[in-house]
Amino acid sequence: MDITIQTRLATLKKKHNILILAHNYQRPEIQDAADFVGDSLDLAIKATKSNADVIVFCGVSFMAEAAKILNPDKTVVLPDPTATCPMANMVSPTDLRTLKNKHPKAAVLAYINTNAEVKALADLCCTSANGVEMARSIKEQEIIFIPDKNLGHYIQQQVPEKTLILWPGYCHTHQDILPEDITKLKAAHPKAEVLVHPECRPEVIALADHAFSTNGMVSHAKTSQATEFIIGTEQGLCYRLQKENPGKCFYELSKAYCPNMKKITIEKLLNSMETLEPEVHVPDPIMHKAKIPLQRMMDLGRKTP
């Protein structure tokens, strides 16, 4: 990274006591600038463990909102407020109320990829790293799972004792990964292990050796005996995988690109660190209600070894 950028980053971090968090899909230069790079769960945990006054969140809006909800006294900044998750926008509070009325006995498990107003109506949140564990922890027999039908399908397979009611949401970036994209790469690299995200189609997950959250892929790649991996998720993760495992090969799917994640640039990051804008605000009543399912997820996670 350019030395003048490095110096500006260090000066601004110190001046405002800033913590920079970056999701695994961020641009390489943003990952390099961050204090921590991680998946949704890891970043939510890091946000609660910091003494920083300001969190600059390099990711999409539901992630920055979650950091704000868990840390209402901190200033949380999202360098581009238009960086949203289209899947999170696929379910509205009205949609969820209608579904709850149809299934009054069901508990609501909300993927963290939901907006704060939707979380405010949920019983428990989960990420792709702990969805199975969170579904198992629910005492009700029926679970409304929003908004990702693919992650919901994956959880249902692992937790057959529960009945999941799925919402037809999906992530374009992962839905566009087709079985033939995997089989073509596998034919070219027959020794490679196939790791995919559970937001992929069930047919794609069926072809994989493992389905993991993005941090799950990072941990697995480090410890696996394999030296080659086909990575079925947004291609930004391959930068971190390659950096942390220089002796191993990672084959990305270049079509798997999240334009919203890539809206955060180094210029926007520096600008946010100078101005502490655009700040993330969640209205108080929503904040209090949305904190309940998020905090429950964090507390349940702490109980499991």
Q: Of the candidates 47, 60, 125, 211, which one interacts with ligand SF4 according to CB under 6 A?
A: 60
Q: 138 contacts which partner out of ligand SF4, ligand 13P, none, CB within 5 to 8 A by kind?
A: none
- The 197-236 contact track toward ligand SF4, x by CB under 6 A, reads --x----------------------------------x--
Peptide bond into 147 cis (omega under 30): yes
Rounded to whole angstroms, the Cα distance separating 54 from 35 reads: 13
- Coil, strand or helix at 107: strand
Q: Are 262 and 30 in contact (CB under 8 A)?
A: no
- Supply the minimum distance, in Å, between the C-beta of residue 9 and ligand SF4: 24
| Phi then psi dihedrals of residue 201, to 5 deg | -60, 150
Peptide bond into 93 cis (omega under 30): no
- Supply the minimum distance, in Å, between the C-beta of residue 228 and ligand SF4: 24
Q: Of the candidates 34, 39, 79, 96, which one interacts with ligand 13P according to CB under 6 A?
A: 39
- Supply the minimum distance, in Å, between the C-beta of residue 43 and ligand SF4: 12
Question: Which tokens sit at 246?
Answer: 């220089």
Task: Give 197 or 268: the residue with its C-beta nearer to ligand 13P.
Answer: 197
Task: Give 79 or 216: the residue with its C-beta nearer to ligand 13P.
Answer: 216
Q: Are 75 and 61 in contact (CB under 8 A)?
A: no
Q: 39 contacts which partner out of ligand SF4, ligand 13P, none, CB within 5 to 8 A by kind?
A: ligand 13P
Task: Give 61 or 75: the residue with its C-beta nearer to ligand 13P.
Answer: 61
Q: Of the candidates 31, 50, 61, 113, which one interacts with ligand SF4 according to CB under 6 A?
A: 113
Rounded to whole angstroms, the Cα distance separating 150 from 137 reads: 20
Alpha helix ranges (H) inside the chain: 3-16, 28-33, 40-48, 61-70, 93-102, 116-119, 131-137, 149-158, 172-175, 179-188, 202-207, 214-223, 237-244, 266-275, 284-303
- Supply the minimum distance, in Å, between the C-beta of residue 51 and ligand SF4: 28
Q: Which of residues 171-200 bind ligand SF4 (CB under 6 A)?
A: 171, 173, 199
- Supply the minimum distance, in Å, between the C-beta of residue 31 and ligand 13P: 13
Peptide bond into 104 cis (omega under 30): no
- Supply the minimum distance, in Å, between the C-beta of residue 59 and ligand 13P: 8
Task: Give 151 or 182: the residue with its C-beta nearer to ligand 13P.
Answer: 151
41 is an interface residue for ligand SF4 by CB under 6 A: no
- Using alpha carbons, select from 181, 184, 141, 186 the residue that is nearest to residue 165: 141
- Supply the minimum distance, in Å, between the C-beta of residue 23 and ligand SF4: 8
Sign of CA dihedral 75, 80, 236, 65: positive
Q: Which of residues 198-257 bind ligand 13P (CB under 6 A)?
A: 199, 213-214
Q: Find the radius of gyration of the CA atoms of the chain.
A: 19
- Coil, strand or helix at 193: strand
Q: Which residues bind ligand 13P (CB under 6 A)?
A: 24, 39-40, 113, 127-128, 171, 197, 199, 213-214
Q: Which residues bind ligand SF4 (CB under 6 A)?
A: 60, 85-87, 113, 171, 173, 199, 234, 258, 260-261
